[in-house]
Amino acid sequence: MTRLVAPAKLTTALRVLGRREDGYHLLEAEMVSLDLADELELTEGEEGSEVRDLVAWVGLPGTAPPEQAGPPGANLVERALELCGRRARWHLDKHIPTGAGLGGGSSDAAAVLRWAGVADLSVAAGLGADVPFCLVGGRARVSGIGEVVEPLADGEASAFLLVTPRVHVSTPVVYRAFDELGGPRGEHGNDLEPAALAAYPELRWWRDLLGAASGSRPRLAGSGGTWFVEGAAEALGELAEGVRGEIVSGRESAFVRLARRTGPSAVQAARPV
C-alpha cells in the first residue's frame, strides 16, 4: 500500500487575458500549495475504491453540504489511473472541499500521476486546467489555460485563513457569467470575483463575515467559493481560534446571529465572545 498526500492549491491572483476560439479562457495566475490536503491510499494490482468525505464545511446550522455528482474526487482519480495505464484499489480521505476553488480533485489526480512517474504537464492538462500546477506544486505563475507552470521562489512562508461556505461553485458557470458581464476586471486581484458574485450572490455574506472578523478585505480563491485573508501565521492562528465557533465550524453564536438578523455590514464592530 502506498500513501499519497494531495495538497490544496490556492489561487492568490488571477487575470483573464482573453478567450480562445475553442472557448477556453487564457489566464495569468499565481498559485500556492497549502498544507490542507486530501490523503490517498493506493494498492497496485487490486480493484475497488472508497471515499470518506471528511470536509469541515462552513455554514450555519441546519444547512446541508452541496450536492455531489458521485463521490467527491472519485472521477479524477479513476481517470488519472486510466491515463497512466495503471490498476489499483484506492481509498480517498477527502479534506479539501469540492466546488470551493481549491483544486481538490485536480490534486488527487496529480498525486496519482506522481505515483505513476508521469511528469509531462501536457498529459496533466488533459485531466484539467489545475492538474499541471498541482503536479508541480509549491508556488508558481500559471498561464495559458493552465498548462504553463513557472515555479517561483518560495520567499517567506505565508499563512492564509480560509472560509469555505456550503456553496458549491461551478467553474463553467462563473466563466459564463464573466463573458456575459463583458469580461470585467476584478478590483482585488481576481478577475473572476465579480462574475462569481453575480452567479452566486450568497458568497457576499461570507466575504463580509470574514472581513468583519479579520479587519481585512477577503479575496476570492479562483472561481470560488473560498474566501481568504493572508497574514502572519501567529496572528491568523489567533484569529482562527477566535472565530472557530462562528465561522470555521458554523456554530450558532451571538456573532452569527447578529449578522443573520441585521446583515453582515452590521457586524463590523462585533467580535466573538
Active-site amino acid positions:
9, 130
Nearest to 22 by CA among 156, 144, 195, 202: 144
User: 69 is written with which cell numbers?
Assistant: 455528482
Angle, CA 164 vertex, CA 133 and CA 40 arms, to 5°: 50
C-beta separation of 65 from 55 below 8 A? yes
Nearest to 92 by CA among 76, 69, 103: 76
Strand partners for 32:
10, 139
| Interaxial angle between packed helices 254-262 and 203-214, expressed in degrees from 0 to 180 and rounded to the nearest 10 | 130
User: 217 is written with which cell numbers?
Assistant: 478585505
Nearest to 9 by CA among 165, 162, 153, 125: 162
User: 178 is written with which cell numbers?
Assistant: 464573466
Q: Which residues 6+ apart lie within 8 Å of 204 measured at CB?
A: 197, 264
Strand partners for 53:
94
